[in-house]
Amino acid sequence: MRDVIEFGGAGPGIVLLHGLMGRATTWWRTARWLTPYGRVVGLDARVHGRNPHRTAVATERFADDIAERVTELGLGPSVLIGHSMGGLHAIATAARHPELVRGIVVEDMAPDHRGRTADVWLAYFETWPTFESLAHVREFFGPAGDYFVECVEEGPAGYHLIGDLAEMVAIAQEWGQRDYWDLVAAVRCPMLVIEAGDGPMPPGQMAEMTRRTGGDAWHHHIPGAGHVVHDDAPQEFRGAVEAFLCRVLSR
């Protein structure tokens, strides 16, 4: 399974789900401190990393993919930790496959982006130069440089993102056409919502998620943190997640 990264550890399953344009290996630093809590696995979503499926699908299909992998690997019930898109996929998996999910961590993802389009993504992609080296990637993306270094590979014309940008835009387009409050309401397991103080999500929604879910839920706001909270504010992120794991895994 080229789309599965085994980070190590033994015991309860802990499954890491990356964000849009990411891949499982972006979780490497986080996975190192998670392994004492269980068997830590990262998954490449469709269109991303080494996943063999290169066409975008609806959110529910992404969730079913996760359920299939959790079942194949014998990891259920698992704690799912998802960043951005991965957080949405964690919600959908918990809602559709509750028997496979022990708890979820949603890192900086809101359930309602209606009215937004992916046009901003297309405009952003057009600003990307031809990346001549990994150092060039780090320089261009600044604080997120280490994250994006994990997401590129070398080709004849320099370094490029692993995955079709048009398909990634198609994934984001769905977010602007519907909301996911029904999936939030269907979650019955414990949920931790981590909100970046300086992230791009619509205000108020992540706190509201903890009131609309069907299980125990906690909202943790980290002032000053950017969208990739686990890299931008690693100690604060770790403290919140470890406290959550202690609650969930002791049940």
Is 0.75 surpassed by the pTM of this model?
Answer: yes
Q: How many domains, the chain?
A: 1
Q: Residue 186 belongs to a domain with what CATH number?
A: 3.40.50.1820
Q: How confident is the model at residue 122 (pLDDT cuts 50, 70, 90)?
A: confident
Q: Residue 125: which pLDDT band, with cuts at 50, 70 and 90?
A: confident
Mean pLDDT value across residues 126-139: 94
Q: Per the domain annotation, does 224 fall within a domain?
A: yes
In a domain, 125, yes or no: no
**pLDDT tier at 117 (50, 70, 90 boundaries)?**
confident
- Cβ within 8 Å of residue 226, ≥6 positions away: 143, 144, 196, 198, 199, 232
Check residue 120 and give its pLDDT. 77
Tens-digit pLDDT profile for residues 53-99: 999 999 999 999 999 999 999 999 999 999 999 999 999 999 999 99
| Tokens standing for residue 65 | 């993919």
Residues 245 and 9: their CA atoms lie apart, in Å, by: 15
Residue 121's pLDDT is: 75
How far apart CA 12 and CA 81 sit, in angstroms, is 13
- The model's confidence at residue 1, banded by pLDDT at 50, 70 and 90, is confident
| Domain-embedded: residue 46 | yes
pLDDT at 29: 96
Token pair recorded at residue 219: 């909202």
Is position 150 within any domain? no
pLDDT tens-digit readout, 173-222: 999 999 999 999 999 999 999 999 999 999 999 999 999 999 999 999 99
Domain range for 188 is 4-111+179-249
Domain-located, residue 116: no
Distance CA 152, CA 169 (A): 17
Percentage of residues in the chain with pLDDT exceeding 90?
90
52 domain residue, yes or no: yes
User: Which single residue is written with the structure tokens 């057009």?
Assistant: 126
The verdict on residue 32 lying in a domain is: yes
What is the rounded CA–CA span in Å between residue 231 and residue 228? 6
Look at residue 119 and tell me if it is in a domain. no
Q: According to the model, what pLDDT value does residue 104 have?
A: 98
Q: What is the mean pLDDT of residues 31-36?
A: 98
Query: Please, where are the H alpha helices in the chain?
Result: 28-34, 59-72, 85-96, 119-125, 134-141, 145-149, 165-175, 181-186, 205-212, 229-232, 234-249
153: left (phi over 0), alpha (psi -120 to 50) or beta: beta
Enter the tokens of residue 53: 């499926």
DSSP helix/strand/coil, 7: strand
Beta bridge partners of 185: none
